[in-house]
Amino acid sequence: MSVTQDGNAVSWLLDRHVAEGRGARAAFLDPHRSLTYAALAEASARFAGALSAAGIGRERRMLMLMLDTVDFPVAFLGAMRAGVVPVPVNTLLTPEQVAYMLADSRAEVLCVSAPCFAALRDVVAAAPDLRLVLVAGLDGAPQTGLPAGARDFAGFVAAGPAAPRPVPASPDEVAFWLYSSGSTGAPKGAKHVHGSLRATAETYASDVLGIRAGDLVYSAAKLFFAYGLGNALTFPMSVGATAVLLPDRPTPDAVIGVMRDRQPTIFCGVPTLYAAMLASPALGRGAGSERLRLCISAGEALPEHVGLRWEEVVGAAILDGIGSTEMLHIFLSNRPDLLRYGTSGVAVPGYELRIVDEHEREVAPGEIGELLVRGPSAAEGYWNQREKSRRTFLGEWTRTGDKYVREADGFYRYQGRADDMFKVSGIWVSPFEVEAALMTHPAVQEAAVVGREDADGLVKPMAFLVLKPGVAADTALLEAMKETVKARAGAWKYPRWVEVVEELPKTATGKIQRFRLRAALG
Binding site residues, ligand 3UK, CB under 6 A = 180, 226-227, 298-301, 320-325, 329-330, 344, 400-402, 414, 417, 423, 428
- Which residue, 132 or 211, has its beta carbon nearer to ligand 3UK? 211
Instruction: Assess contact for 392 and 181: CB atoms under 8 A.
Output: no
Dihedral sign computed on CA atoms, order 180, 375, 77, 4: positive
The CB-of-297 to ligand 3UK minimum distance in angstroms stands at 6
Kindly state the smallest distance separating residue 330's Cβ from ligand 3UK, in Å.
5
Q: Which helix (H) or strand (E) holds 470?
A: none
Listed in sequence order, the residues at least 6 apart from 276 whose beta carbon sits closer than 8 Å to its beta carbon are: 251, 252
At closest approach, how far in Å is the CB of 86 from ligand 3UK?
Answer: 16
One-letter-per-residue 3-state SS of 499-518 = EECCCCCECCCCCECHHHHH
Q: What Cα–Cα distance (Å) separates residue 427 from each residue in 31, 73, 86, 512?
A: 25, 22, 20, 23
- In single-letter form, the type of residue at position 426 comes to G
Per the DSSP assignment, residues forming a β-bridge with 330 are 323
- Asked if 370 contacts 401 with a C-beta cutoff of 8 angstroms, the reply is yes
Taking the C-alpha atoms of residue 508 and residue 512, their distance in angstroms, rounded to an integer, is 10
CB-nearer residue toward ligand 3UK: 322 or 512: 322
In the Cβ-directed half-sphere of 187, how many Cα atoms lie within 13 Å?
Answer: 25
**What element of type H or E holds 273?**
helix 271-278
Pick the closer one to ligand 3UK by CB: 52 or 200.
200
Cβ-based nearer residue to ligand 3UK, 132 or 424: 424
Q: Which residue is nearest to ligand 3UK (CB)?
A: 323
Q: Quote the least distance from Cβ 253 to ligand 3UK, whole Å.
A: 25
Q: How far is the CB of 316 from ligand 3UK (least distance, A)?
A: 18
φ and ψ at 15, to 5 degrees? Answer: -65, -30
State the nearest-atom distance from the C-beta of 366 to ligand 3UK, in Å: 19
Residue 46 CA, chain-centre distance (Å), reads 27
Min dist CB 427 to ligand 3UK, Å, is 7
CA dist., res. 252 & res. 284, Å (int): 12
Q: Which is nearer to ligand 3UK, 30 or 402 (CB)?
A: 402
Q: 264 or 323, CB closer to ligand 3UK?
A: 323
Shorter beta-carbon distance to ligand 3UK: residue 36 or 97: 97
Please say whether the beta carbons of 190 and 180 come within 8 A. yes
3-state secondary structure of 311: helix
Could you tell me the smallest distance in angstroms from the CB atom of residue 17 to ligand 3UK?
24
Nearer to ligand 3UK, 136 or 205 (CB): 205
Strand partners, 422: 429
Q: How far apart are CB 176 and ligand 3UK at their closest, in Å?
A: 13
Which residue lies nearer to ligand 3UK by CB, 56 or 458?
Answer: 458
